[in-house]
Structures are given as C-alpha cells and as structure tokens.
Amino acid sequence: MAASTDVTPIAALAKLAISDQSFSQVKENFESTLKLFEELTRVDTNGIEPLVSPGDRHQVLRVDTDETLVERAELMQNAPAQEENYFTVPRVID
C-alpha cells in the first residue's frame, strides 16, 4: 500500500503549522522531495539487512554510579518559564 502524501496530517504529527499562504509551496516542495525518493523504491533490496549505524561496533555500557554533571539551576537557566523549580506549561486538562 502506497502511503498518502498528504502533508497536513504529517505537519500535525510534527507539531508544525502550515499557513494558508505557504501551503501550496510547502506541498510542492514536499512532493518534489518524495519524488526524488522514487528511485529507491525501484532498487531490489531483497534480503539486505538494513544499516542503522555504520561500522560493526556495539554498545559500550556505563557503570551504575550517580554523578551530578550540572546543577539544577544551571540546567533550568534557559527555561522560557519556570516556577518553584518546575518547568511550566499551560494547564493540561486530561
């Protein structure tokens, strides 16, 4: 099944808004990029293992010890909004 190339639900997933003025341009660019990918669908990749990361290396593990690298105040120094040591966002109604 070929995926729908409708850009609107994709923008919603990505939490991006597309303005009415830019919509046709965004749509055109989006579709032309997907067109570029069409050549891939024609490649025979039967039996080829996907490559996630280059090289044949594996995970290096960390010893379980605790360490504070940066103090809380500095970690939160860039927060656009904070109160009582919390980050804050508009009230979420669940």
Partner 1 sequence: MSDIDLRACSLHELRESLENKQISSVELTQFFVDRIKLLDPQLNSVITPTMDLALKQAKQADQRIAHGDDSALLGIPILHKDIFCTEGVKTTCASKMLADFVSPYDATVVSALAKSGAITLGKTNMDEFAMGSSNETSHFGAVKNPWDLSRVPGGSSGGSASAVAAGLAPCATGTDTGGSIRQPAALCGITGLKPSYGRVSRYGMIAFASSMDQAGPMAKSAADCAQLLSAMAGHDPLDSTSAKLAVPDYATEIERPVAGLRIGVPQEFFDKQLSPAVADAIHTALRQLEAMGATLVDVKLPSTPLGVSTYYVIAPAEASANLARYDGVRFGYRCEAPQNLEDLYVRSRTEGFGEEVKRRILVGTFTLSAASYDQYFMKAQQVRRMIANEYDEVLANVDVIAGPSAPNTAFPLNDASKSITDMYMEDVFTVGCNLAGLPAMSIPAGIVEGLPVGMQLIGRSFDEATVLRVGHQFQLQTDWHRQVSRIAEFAS
Partner 2 sequence: MKWEMVMGLEVHLQLATVSKIFSSSKTAFGAAPNEQTNPLDVALPGTLPVLNEAAVRQAIVFGLGVGATINKVSRFDRKNYFYPDLPKGYQISQFFAPIVSDGVFDIPLPDGSVFPVRILRAHLEEDAGKSVHDALPNQTAIDLNRAGTPLLEVVTEPDFRTAEQVVAYLKALHGLVTYLGISDGNMAEGSMRCDVNISLRPTDTVKLGTRTELKNLNSFKFIERAIQVEAERQQDLLEDGRTVTQETRLFDPELDETRSMRSKEVANDYRYFPDPDLLPVVIDDSVIDNIRSQLPELPTVKRERYQSQLELSAYDASLLTQDRATADYFESSLEHHNNPKALANWMLGDLAAAMNRDGLAIRDVVVTPAQLALLVNRIDDGTLSSKMAKAVFEGLWQEEGDVDPIIEARGLQQVSDTGELEAMVDELIANSPAQVAQYRAADPDKQKKLIGYFVGQAMKATKGQANPQVINEILRKKL
Pull the structure tokens for residue 14: 């990505």
Other C-beta atoms lying within 10 Å of the C-beta of residue 23: 13
Q: What is the Rg, in whole angstroms, of the alpha carbon atoms belonging to the chain?
A: 22
Nearer to partner 1, 78 or 83 (CB): 78
Task: Look up tokens 């293992």; give the residue.
Answer: 49
* Candidate list 4, 36, 42, 90; residue touching partner 2; CB under 8 A: 90
Residue 68 binds which entry of partner 2, partner 1, none, CB below 5-8 Å type-dependent: partner 2
Residues that bind partner 1 (CB under 8 A): 1-5, 7, 10-11, 13-17, 26, 29-30, 32-37, 39-41, 43, 45, 48-55, 57, 59-62, 69-70, 74-81, 87, 89-90, 92
Whole-angstrom Cα distance, residue 35 to residue 29?
10
8 A C-beta contact, residue 11 and residue 17: yes
Residues 19 to 58 in contact with partner 2, rule: CB under 8 A: 52-53, 57-58
8 A C-beta contact, residue 45 and residue 26: no
Query: Contact residues for partner 2 (CB under 8 A)?
Result: 13, 15, 52-53, 57-70, 72, 75-76, 83-94
